[in-house]
Chains A and B, each alone.
Chain A
Amino acid sequence: MKASGFVPADQFFYLKTGIIMSSIIVGVADMKVSDNPDITLVTYSLGSCIGIVVHDSVARVGGILHFMLPESKIDFAKARTNPFMFADTGIPLLFRSAYKLGAKKQRMKVVVIGGSQILDQNGFFNIGKRNYLATKKILWKNNVLIDYEDIGGSFNRTSKLAVKNGKIIIKVSGKGEIET
């Protein structure tokens, strides 16, 4: 079991039993997937970055990806050492890792959070918006629907997922908490 650090692109890892009611932090440019009902996954610091939270309530498998940038073409070498930094390399790995633990695409709840922007941030410089567009494009291409999203604005967000029941709590700076 591994709780942090990067993961090679051709591998995945998951959190198995052995920890009782623990919070596991998903860092920036990081992903965690688990089928341990005692675990809550948490990711902080979602500014322009995007957090994708997935959960299958039948298989009781959940995961969070926290990526920073839309496209790996900016640095393919980096995408190999840390695929979770980019939408196009991180999102497929999130789903594949959940499938390996028994999750099924048609049962999965998918929540997308983050993609904020600095005020007046337009065009190509608007990384939050570009992250969101990349997410929608990849999910749409793979026939995955977004069940809930809390996107944009100038907020900082935190998200928690309880693996046992799929309860997701989103904390939005200056606005309080939302439960999905």
Chain B
Amino acid sequence: MKDIEKIISRIDKLKPVSRVANKILEFIEDSEGSASDLSEIIIYDQAVTANLLKICNSAYYGLSRQVDSVQRAVVFLGINKVVDIVIMAGCAENLRTSQKGYDLCEGELWKNSVSSALMARDLAEKKKLTNVHMIFTAALLKDIGKLVLSQYVADSFERINRLVTDQGYSFKEAEQEVIGIDHAQLGAMVLEKWKFSQKMVDIVRNHHLSEELLTPDSETGLVYLADTLCMMMGIGVGSDGLAYRFHQKVIEDLCFSEKDLHAIISGFGDKLRQIEDLVGF
């Protein structure tokens, strides 16, 4: 088997994301779906339900009383927030693991993923986009490819790092050059395998953008921006550091000024402690 095929075959070793996450995304597309339909989807997955209740009760959501059932979660937080939480609960198991190749301890990738997702949701609401849940989910899963590539990055770290530090490669470009595939491409393959929508697959594949993709759709642009800002804030950043490309034009096309970015960062800075609590469940 060729090396790349061998890497791709490791996608099957990932724990499949809970089917509840897919069902939830279908539920959102169905505008007829009610709160009780939502509860019905969730309650049959005990692990997701348990995680959902822990997340609901974290300081991030600031509820004054303990939530002890899915129905009450929907009543207190509303359908939209519960949908986000279910998606987080369904992806947590994979994303919380340590990734040695990227020098990420247990929980660090998870913290980056959750922060990016919450940031992307804020940005999407600011821009009044309608498909907020899709943007949230794509931002949450954007680095899932790192789970597959981590071991190979560890094996080739010196070569990758040399290209980044000596030759001006981005970390993703260096992964591609040394290993033959990068974490964004692998992430897209993972989502394809898990039967997520083509749109979401494309966002994950393009979340670092490239010279060929400097006029992305708003959804991809916002996930890119959320990822960039979380990197700048150093949230769950590993050995790849901030070695990805900044595309000012894309940010300007989204109508964000430098002042806006400062305001977004300072607003998000206030939430970081609650996010710590949320990801620590």
Contact = CB atoms under 8 A, between A and B. Distances in A.
B238 A173 contact: yes
Given A118-B244, A121-B246, A127-B265, A49 B234 contact: yes
A82 B265 CA distance: 13
A47 B207 CA distance: 19
Nearest to A28: B272
Interface stretch (A53-61, A68-76, A103-111, A140-148): A68-76
B202 interface: no
Contacts of A123: 248, 258
A124 B270 CA distance: 23
Interface residues of B, number: 38
Q: Is the interface of B mostly helix, strand, loop or mixed?
A: helix
Nearest to B272: A28
B272 A156 contact: no
B233 A45 contact: yes
B232 A74 contact: no
Interface in B237-274: 237-248, 251, 258-259, 261-263, 265-266, 269-270, 272-273
B178 to A, nearest CB: 14
Given A118-B242, A118-B244, A155-B242, A125 B234 contact: no
B246 A68 contact: no
B231 A78 contact: no
Contacts of B242: 47-48, 116-119, 154-156
B109 to A, nearest CB: 13
Contact residues of A: prevailing secondary structure: loop
B103 to A, nearest CB: 7
Contacts of B244: 118-119
A28 B259 contact: no
A46 B266 contact: no
B248 A44 contact: no
B241 A68 contact: no
Interface of B: 103, 157, 161, 164-165, 168, 170, 228, 231-235, 237-248, 251, 258-259, 261-263, 265-266, 269-270, 272-273, 276
Given A74-B259, A174-B164, 4 more contacts: A45-B235, A118-B245, A120-B248, A155-B242
The 9 tightest CB contacts between A and B, nearest first, are A45-B234, A47-B234, A121-B246, A124-B258, A156-B237, A118-B246, A48-B232, A154-B242, A154-B243
